[in-house]
Structure 1
Amino acid sequence: MKYQSVTPGIQYTDLAQPKEFFIDFMGFKVIHEEPDFCVVQRDGVKFCLHIDEEYSKNLAPLFRIETDDIQAVWQELLAKDPTKSRIHPRFKDGPELRPWSAWEFAVGWGDHVCLVFQEWTNKDQA
């Protein structure tokens, strides 16, 4: 037996803005949808987006997505957001090499979900 993957669930007060973020900006596809719940996927990464008033007010989630080409991810998102309004201010100049040997940058909006993209320099650490 082995674990296969993790599919995080994120709570919101409505799904319009998160769906726009994940689908239009991030390039995810909806693979299941109900009025207060949907699952989005891109490659091997999935998120469950839920409507939950209480949790959405008290949790600010952060997720890390590993990639094998962080520059390609950076260029794709920069093309969709040339003003860098969705790029975390720390990374306005592009991905940074962090002390734990991973190149990283982060995206999100306001105090909502933050996705950190990372590419490990030593693939054995990933």
Structure 2
Amino acid sequence: MSLGTVTPILRIFDEAMTREFYVDFLGFKVDWEHRFEGNFPLYMQVSKDGCLLHLSGHFGDCSPGAAIRIATTDVDAYQAELIAKEYKHARPGVEEAPWGGREMSIKDPAGNRLTFYNREPEISA
């Protein structure tokens, strides 16, 4: 028995701001979108490299204000890339975490907190 990857579901409200944040700013791509009918809430998957996120406008799927951690190979390089975009809603900084390592936290338009951190190198057994 083994466990697989985790795909968080984050609550969204404003579809245009959500796309601007995740696609234009963070550099994710939209993999697919779903609506049960034309005027129903959006449910979509976005991805960047090995990171998958589900974003949902449905009331019952999840609560706004979630917090997730996303491993990266170079949080400083990602932060420099984001700052260069001059996004008007966020200018994230990188900080030393009290428990060690470097991380960068950003809130999306629905108040969900995404913390990007440097992944520890894997240790061979």
After TM superposition, the score normalised by the length of structure 2 is 0.78
Paired residues for 1:18-57 under 5 Å:
18-35=18-35, 36-53=42-59
Quote the RMSD (CA, aligned, Å).
2.5
Alignment partners' CA distance in 1, 2:101 and 2:22: 23
> How far off is 1:13 after superposition?
2.9
Consecutive unaligned residues of structure 1, counting only runs of 5 or more, are 89-93
Q: Does residue 1:10 correspond to 2:6, yes or no?
A: no
Q: Give the aligned partner of residue 114 of structure 1.
A: 113
Q: Give the aligned partner of residue 62 of structure 1.
A: 67
Find runs of 4+ consecutive structure 1 residues off by over 4 angstroms.
Answer: none
Consecutive unaligned residues of structure 2, counting only runs of 5 or more, are 36-41
Q: Does residue 1:74 correspond to 2:79, yes or no?
A: yes
* Larger RCO, structures 1/2 (Cα 8 Å, 6+ apart): 2
Between the two proteins, what is the percent identity of the paired residues?
30
Q: Give the aligned partner of residue 39 of structure 2.
A: none
| Conservation of the 8 A alpha-carbon contact between 2:17 and 2:109 | no
Determine which structure has the larger helix proportion and give its number: 1
Q: Deviations over 1:4-27 (max 9, x none)?
A: 311110122342221221111111
Alignment partners' CA distance in 1, 2:98 and 2:24: 32
